Amino acid sequence: MITEEKIKLLYEKGSVGVGNLFNNNYLEQLQKIKNELFKEFPYGQDDQLNKKNSSDFVRPGSHMIWDLIDRSPIFSKILDNENIKKISTRVLGANYNVASFYIRKTPRINEKLNPHIDYQGGLSFSILLDDIKENEGETFFYPRSHKLPPPPFVDFKKNSVHPVSITGKLGDTFFWFPDCWHGRNENLNDKETTILMCHLGNSNYPTKDPIGRMRNYNNKKIASENKENNKFLHEFFKFFGRAPNSILRHIIYCIAYFKLKGLSNFAISKNTIYTRKKYGDSKIDSFSIINYLKVINPSKTITIIIKNFIKLILGKRLVGKIKKS
């Protein structure tokens, strides 16, 4: 169930479990269809939706199937679920966009997906499609980390937060902010585990996938009034809102979104890209620059800044060639 308390926890911690939102009969069907799909696509699909025939990964630890809704109408019931619509509208406003919607299977692997952030101002949810225990390839989150620098810049010893795994039973559902640190644990068992993941953005979220993947599900209608109507704000938040490897861009985003309330509230009112609605309580929407700076690891940060600077000067292609040779 989505209660006000759950929404408050989501804003406080950056992720929240809401339990099971579906009936058992539906979930059993969903699991059955998921199993059939992975029988047909044991290694998932590549980014062009072609069947993969080898066990190597497009992304470490993940075999993914993207075109779910085309393959079975059972999946569209998820996006029609009243609870899911309620929380998505609350966080992203009406006419929010589904950016991606897929299932991910993790086989036995003794490698973690390291903590990272995806981008600012979105909302994602995950539904367990198997019973999943700790160290069975489950996603983990660092509570309250959505107000801290991206993980590559952080001194993990100075930071007292510890990851929390999203384990549970078939159907258990978790909402999370993609700017909250997250990763995936090893799968130490032979049992493969699957979750469904969905990334949502407000009505100005890009309708084209950044890596060019075909998007084979129906988005809600994108009304013309949803298109960006303030060019400067759109360019500003677009540039600063997706920079998981730049601390400078990340902190500028955080200051603009959390501290410059006139600017951010105006941007939110225009459904500007990468801006989700605030919770509406100044304590929960607060941001501490001191806490942000306190967890930075200076030497890691300087090294990344120098590397990025060299890349900028030489161009990415040249750096790639030097690395290869």
Ligand X SMILES: O=C(O)CCC(=O)C(=O)O
Please state the separation of Cα 221 from the chain's center in Å: 23
The full DSSP string for 275-293 is -PPP-S-TTTT---HHHHH
Alpha carbons within 13 angstroms on the beta-carbon side of residue 172 total 16
For ligand X, the closer of residues 62 and 120 by Cβ is: 62
Residues 167 and 135 sit within 8 Å (Cβ to Cβ): no
Q: How far apart are CA 109 and CA 185, in angstroms?
A: 9
DSSP state letter for 148? S
We find the least distance from the C-beta atom of residue 178 to Fe ion, in angstroms, to be 6
Residues 138 and 176 sit within 8 Å (Cβ to Cβ): no
Residue that has been written with the tokens 């080898």 in this structure: 54
Taking CB atoms, the residue at the shortest distance from Fe ion is 118
Comparing CA positions, the residue from 252, 222, 221 lying closest to residue 238 is 252
**Interacting positions 103-162 with ligand X (CB under 6 A):** 104, 113, 118, 139
For ligand X, the closer of residues 21 and 180 by Cβ is: 180
For ligand X, the closer of residues 140 and 236 by Cβ is: 140
We find the least distance from the C-beta atom of residue 33 to Fe ion, in angstroms, to be 25
SS3 242: coil
250 contact choice in Fe ion, ligand X, none (CB below 5 to 8 Å, kind-dependent): none
**Interacting positions 28-57 with Fe ion (CB under 5 A):** none
Structure tokens at 305: 């800044």
For Fe ion, the closer of residues 118 and 131 by Cβ is: 118
For ligand X, the closer of residues 62 and 203 by Cβ is: 62
We find the least distance from the C-beta atom of residue 229 to ligand X, in angstroms, to be 30
> Residue 104: which H helix or E strand, with range?
strand 97-106
Of positions 182, 199, 242, 250, contacts ligand X by CB under 6 A: 182
The full DSSP string for 241-267 is HS-TT-HHHHHHHHIIIII-HHHHHHH
Of positions 15, 62, 145, 271, contacts ligand X by CB under 6 A: 62
62 contact choice in ligand X, Fe ion, none (CB below 5 to 8 Å, kind-dependent): ligand X
**Contact between 118 and Fe ion (CB under 5 A)?**
yes
Q: Which amino acid is at 185?
A: N
Total of residues contacting ligand X (CB under 6 A): 8
**Interacting positions 2-61 with ligand X (CB under 6 A):** 59
Comparing CA positions, the residue from 133, 31, 112, 260 lying closest to residue 268 is 260
We find the least distance from the C-beta atom of residue 195 to Fe ion, in angstroms, to be 12
For Fe ion, the closer of residues 226 and 246 by Cβ is: 246
For Fe ion, the closer of residues 46 and 118 by Cβ is: 118
Residues 142 and 180 sit within 8 Å (Cβ to Cβ): yes
Taking CB atoms, the residue at the shortest distance from ligand X is 139
For ligand X, the closer of residues 5 and 209 by Cβ is: 209
We find the least distance from the C-beta atom of residue 314 to ligand X, in angstroms, to be 28
Which residues, in sequence order, are CB contacts of 274 under 8 Å at separation 6+? 119, 120, 121, 122, 201, 237, 238, 240, 241, 242, 253
Q: How many C-beta atoms lie closer than 10 Å to residue 29's C-beta?
A: 15
We find the least distance from the C-beta atom of residue 235 to ligand X, in angstroms, to be 25
We find the least distance from the C-beta atom of residue 254 to ligand X, in angstroms, to be 20
**Contact between 184 and ligand X (CB under 6 A)?**
yes
Per CB under 6 A, residues contacting ligand X are: 59, 62, 104, 113, 118, 139, 182, 184
Per CB under 5 A, residues contacting Fe ion are: 118
